Structure 1
Amino acid sequence: MAYVFESVPAQRSRIDMSNPSEVMYWAKQFGCSQEQLRQAVAQVGDSSAMVEQLLDGKDLLAL
């Protein structure tokens, strides 16, 4: 049986949109498409907490 390990971003508080493996990781984590992730990052910045709040439909809190 083969095991596939996902690489976890080194800095989990920020989303590096220039890194394809991070884009795939965060899209999977948030249950969204890569395009939805790109739009969310464009709207609120690269903070993973802010992107998660936006994608969850929660009110955005200033961090």
Structure 2
Amino acid sequence: MSDNKHITHPEDAKRIDIHDPFEVSNWKSALNCTEAELKHAVAQVGTYADDVREYLSKR
């Protein structure tokens, strides 16, 4: 994983790492959701971005 924290997209665009604040920030923007919504979605469907995106689209 890169040490460059100014990357505008996650390094592994298939998974969401909710323990990395920079990834959380990027995913919140990409998925247009809050941190709480993102973490709830990951808790419900797992870390695969496509699954989280689908889950959030049904809200």
TM over 0.5: yes
Name the amino acid aligned to 1:40.
A
* TM-score, normalization by structure 2: 0.83
**Structure 2 unpaired stretches of 5+:** 1-5
Which of the pair has more CA radius of gyration?
1
Unaligned runs of 5+ residues in structure 1 are: 59-63
Identity of aligned residues (%): 33
* Partner in structure 2 of residue 54 of structure 1: 55
* Root mean square deviation of aligned Cα: 1.6
- For each residue in 1:6-55, what CA deviation from the matched residue of structure 2 results, as whole angstroms up to 9, or x when unmatched? 53111000001110000011011111100000000000000000000000
| Residue of structure 2 in register with 1:61 after alignment | none
User: Which protein has greater RCO, CA pairs closer than 8 Å, 6+ apart?
Assistant: 2
